[in-house]
Amino acid sequence: MPEYQEIRAGFDDDTITVYQAYGEQIALAAIKNQKFQKPFSFNRMTWIKPSFLWMMARSNWGNKSNQEYILALKISRFYWERALEMGVLTHPDKNIYNSGDIWEEEFKKAKVHIQWDPERSIRNTKLEYRTIQVGISRHLIEEFNDTWIKEIIDYTPLVKKINHLRKNGKIKEAKRLLPHEKNYPVSSEIKNRIGISE
Helix/strand/coil for 159: helix
Positions of the chain with pLDDT lower than 70, given as ranges: 1-2, 198
Residue range 80-126, pLDDT digits in tens = 999 999 999 999 998 889 888 999 999 999 999 999 999 999 999 99
Q: Which residues are CB-neighbours of 147 under 8 A, at least 6 positions away? A: 76, 79
Q: So what's the pLDDT on residue 40?
A: 97
Residue 52 in contact with residue 135, Cβ under 8 Å? no
Q: Is the pTM of the predicted complex or chain greater than 0.85?
A: yes
Pairing, β 182-183 against β 87-89: unpaired
Kindly compute the dihedral angle of the four CA atoms of residues 168, 169, 173, 179, in this order, to the nearest 10 degrees.
90
Helix/strand/coil for 13: coil
Q: So what's the pLDDT on residue 1?
A: 60
Q: So what's the pLDDT on residue 198?
A: 63
- End-to-end C-alpha distance for the chain, whole angstroms: 16
Taking the C-alpha atoms of residue 74 and residue 2, their distance in angstroms, rounded to an integer, is: 24
Strands across the sheet containing 112-120:
46-48, 126-136, 112-120, 87-89
> What are the boundaries of each domain within the chain?
8-194
Taking the C-alpha atoms of residue 30 and residue 40, their distance in angstroms, rounded to an integer, is: 9
